[in-house]
């Protein structure tokens, strides 16, 4: 189980922690000196940097005849990897971290479950979130196969619509599992808690936690232990997003609000929020509806992806590369993993997303990150096509140890943005305003399906100021748009070695512009 202590460390302290390996990396670079730099530059000219140089992907072998449409992943205490499938099986992969991945073997632990999209191991039990219930499984006979299938809670409704998925989280600090429940047909709520997030206590009690969900694709905590989920483009969701499951909040789709009448909901959540107005904008409604938690991150449709899915947080303290503390989110259609940085502004999470790694074998759905820094990705494209052409996949990805030149984090300032890089920038190119392109837009918040990008504006970058260490650039921007995605392309920025960025773009969802005093306090 991942280190829960680390999760409680404050984001500020983590930022300090995360700079440590990066600093060592850059020191090493400086020491190696300018002799190598020229050679590097020549190489760079021949071959532009590729994602695979930094994060190579390796497939794990799947036995002939097994259809491993991975719905959830969980590393067990004994080092095995549990993989649950949409066909209702759970497989245990022996030696998933073996140096030669092809030597990993797997054995079936259970079958006959209903589309398992959440796994968690605890106290000798394997907790599995099925469509209709949270169960826990155990092998009592010692033959390596589960023989007890206990229902922990089956308190949510299900009508038989394929869209009624249930995604289960890892345990939170209190041991609760958070379950995000898709709407019936992804439009309406025909049974209790469809379109809700509920949490199931260790005692098996169901607590209604958030309303307003549409079609979740994954659920997971950030480094601080706050729970997030991904939702997908559709009614009341102009594009896919990462949303903070603030307890008691409304996540934007009013389809499930009818369940506010249930006594359990009234007790846990109070009265129903005011219904949002269709055709409006997210932040216009957020100001009217206190329960409404606006999406922390919007993944611009067709730019970042089309189906946001599994979530992991990098809690490896640098073993997974320079992105410690950040969140990684899969995209099923694009077969990619995206990267997200978050900050809290006026009490709400918001932040930016960045492309991270493409080229997974199938549609990325489930993610798991080992404490040693190996990211496992399970994929399926059944029913929903993906760029990865395989019907299913199980892959792992490790950091090669080379530090890619990337935008580490884009942070909002009262008058612009602060860009932190993984490696020092070339001060000359970075200080030129024309090295950067910034545009903004948002999405219609409406009851019909999705939204185009609307309300485009073109802010002006007045100044780009490079910090002394070369790692941070402060952009002074005229025309920040509260409530808009700020799409930044740093196409002209070069590293100190003259290399272009591995990914030039970042999309900051500026729900709130930080006030000057908050920025100063940080």
Partner 1 sequence: MRVYRLWKRSPRFLCSPAGRPVSSPGRLAACCLLLAGLLQTTGPATAADDTSAPTHPKIPGFERFFADAETPTRGGGLLLLGELNCTSCHAASQELATTLLPRQAPVLTEVGTRVRPEYLRKYLLDPRATRPGSTMPDVFTGLSQAERTRRVEALTHFLASTGTVRDEVPVAVAVARGEVLFHRVGCAVCHGSQRDGAAQLETSVPLTGIAEKYSIPGLTAFLQNPHAVRPSGRMPSLNLVDTEAGDIAAYLLRDIKVTPNVEYTWYTGDWQTLPDFSQLKPEGAGKAAGFDLSVSGKQNNHGVRFKSYLPIEADGEYTFHAGSDDGSRIALNDHTVVLNDGLHPFTFRSGKVKLHPGLYYLTVDFFQGGGGQELRIEYEGPGISRRPLSSAITLDKKATPGMENRFKVSKTLAAEGRQIFQQSGCASCHQLNEGGSRLKSQLAARPLAELNTGRGCLAENVPAGLPAWSLSAAQRKSLDHVLKSAESLQPVQRIPHLLTTFNCFACHQRGEIGGVEQARNDLFETTIPEMGDEGRIPPTLEGVGDKLNAAWLKHVLDSGANDRPYMLTRMPKFGAQAATLAKLLTAADEQTLAEIPVIDQPELRVQAIGRHLAGDKGLSCIKCHYVGRIAATGIQAMDLTTMTRRLREDWFQRYMINPQVYRRGTRMPSAFPGGRTILPDILDDRADAQLRALWVYLEMGNQAPVPSGMLQQAIVLVPGDEPIIYRNFIENAGPRAIAVGYPERANLAWDADYMRPALIWHNAFIDASRHWTGRGQGFERPLGDHVLALPAGVPLAVLPDEETAWPAEPAAEAGYRFLGYRLDEHRRPVFRYRLAEIEVEDHFVPEPGQPDAGFRRTITLKSPRAPSGTLWLRAAVGKVEPEEGVTGSWLIDGVLRLQQKQHADTADGAENAREPLRRTVDGKTELLLPVRFTDGKATLVLTYHW
Interface contacts to partner 1, rule CB under 8 A: 67, 86-88, 111-115, 130-133, 135, 146-151, 154, 158-164, 185-187, 234, 277, 279-281, 284-285, 301-302, 306, 333, 358, 381-387, 389, 391, 439-441, 444, 448-452, 454-458, 479, 481
> Which is nearest to 181 in space by CA: 138, 227, 216?
216
By beta-carbon proximity to partner 1, the closer residue of 179 and 425 is 179
Query: To which residue do tokens 């109070």 refer?
Result: 270
DSSP 384: S
Minimum CB distance to partner 1, residue 111 (Å): 6
Q: What are the C-alpha distances in Å from 450 to residues 173, 197, 279, 300?
A: 35, 21, 11, 11
Minimum CB distance to partner 1, residue 297 (Å): 20
Minimum CB distance to partner 1, residue 307 (Å): 10
Minimum CB distance to partner 1, residue 276 (Å): 9
> Which is nearest to 188 in space by CA: 199, 196, 179?
196
Q: What are phi and psi of 168, to 5 degrees?
A: -110, 145
Minimum CB distance to partner 1, residue 47 (Å): 16
By beta-carbon proximity to partner 1, the closer residue of 144 and 452 is 452
CA angle 249, 252, 256 (to 5 degrees): 85
By beta-carbon proximity to partner 1, the closer residue of 374 and 451 is 451
> Which is nearest to 335 in space by CA: 385, 410, 262, 287?
385
Q: What are the C-alpha distances in Å from 9 to residues 14, 175, 246, 480?
A: 7, 18, 19, 32
By beta-carbon proximity to partner 1, the closer residue of 377 and 466 is 377
Q: Are 199 and 208 in contact (CB under 8 A)?
A: no
Burial class (CB in 10 A: 0-12, 13-18, 19+), 127: buried
Minimum CB distance to partner 1, residue 367 (Å): 21
How far apart, in whole angstroms, are the C-alpha atoms of residue 471 and residue 421? 5
Minimum CB distance to partner 1, residue 456 (Å): 4
Minimum CB distance to partner 1, residue 457 (Å): 4
3-state class of 346 per DSSP?
A: coil
């Amino acid at each position: 189980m991942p280190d829960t202590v680390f999760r409680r460390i404050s984001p500020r302290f983590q930022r300090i922690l995360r700079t440590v390996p990066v600093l060592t990396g850059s020191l090493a670079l400086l020491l190696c000196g300018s002799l190598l730099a020229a050679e590097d530059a020549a190489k760079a000219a021949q071959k532009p940097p590729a994602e695979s140089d930094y994060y190579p992907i390796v497939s794990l072998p799947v036995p002939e005849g097994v259809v491993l449409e991975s719905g959830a992943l969980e590393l067990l205490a004994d080092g095995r990897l549990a993989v649950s499938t949409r066909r209702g099986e759970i497989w245990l992969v022996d030696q998933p971290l073996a140096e030669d991945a092809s030597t990993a073997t797997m054995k079936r632990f259970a079958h006959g479950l209903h589309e398992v999209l959440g796994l968690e191991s605890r106290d000798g039990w394997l907790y599995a979130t099925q469509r209709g219930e949270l169960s826990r499984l155990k092998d009592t006979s010692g033959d390596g196969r589960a023989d007890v299938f206990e229902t922990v809670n089956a308190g949510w409704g299900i009508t038989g619509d394929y869209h009624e998925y249930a995604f289960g989280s890892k345990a939170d600090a209190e041991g609760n599992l958070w379950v995000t429940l898709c709407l019936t047909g992804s439009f309406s709520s025909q049974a209790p808690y469809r379109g809700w997030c509920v949490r199931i206590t260790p005692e098996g009690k169901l607590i209604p936690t958030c309303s307003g969900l549409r079609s979740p694709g994954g659920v997971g905590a950030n480094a601080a232990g706050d729970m997030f989920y991904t939702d997908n483009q559709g009614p009341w969701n102009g594009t896919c997003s990462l949303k903070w499951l603030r307890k008691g909040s409304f996540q934007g789709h009013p389809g499930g609000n009818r369940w506010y009448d249930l006594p359990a909901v009234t007790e846990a959540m109070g009265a129903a929020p005011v219904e949002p107005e269709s055709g409006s904008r997210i932040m216009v409604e957020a100001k009217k509806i206190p329960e409404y938690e606006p999406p922390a991150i919007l993944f611009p449709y067709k730019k970042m992806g089309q189906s946001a899915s599994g979530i992991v947080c990098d809690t490896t303290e640098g073993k997974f590369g320079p992105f410690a503390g950040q969140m990684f989110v899969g995209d099923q259609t694009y077969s990619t993993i995206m990267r997200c940085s978050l900050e809290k502004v006026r009490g709400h999470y918001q932040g930016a997303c960045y492309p991270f790694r493409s080229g997974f074998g199938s549609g990325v759905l489930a993610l798991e990150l080992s404490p040693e820094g190996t990211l496992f990705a399970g994929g399926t494209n059944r029913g929903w096509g993906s760029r990865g052409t395989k019907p299913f996949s199980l892959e792992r990805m490790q950091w090669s140890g080379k530090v890619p030149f990337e935008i580490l984090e884009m942070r909002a300032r009262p008058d612009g943005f602060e860009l932190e890089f993984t490696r020092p920038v070339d001060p000359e190119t970075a200080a030129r305003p024309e090295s950067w392109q910034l545009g903004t837009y948002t999405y219609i918040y409406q009851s019909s399906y999705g939204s185009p990008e609307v309300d485009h504006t073109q802010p002006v970058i007045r100044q780009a100021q490079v910090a002394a260490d070369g790692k941070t650039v402060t952009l002074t921007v005229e025309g920040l748009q509260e409530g808009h995605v700020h799409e930044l392309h740093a196409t002209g920025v070069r590293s100190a070695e003259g290399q272009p960025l591995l990914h030039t773009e970042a999309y900051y969802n500026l729900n709130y512009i930080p006030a000057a005093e908050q920025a100063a306090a940080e």
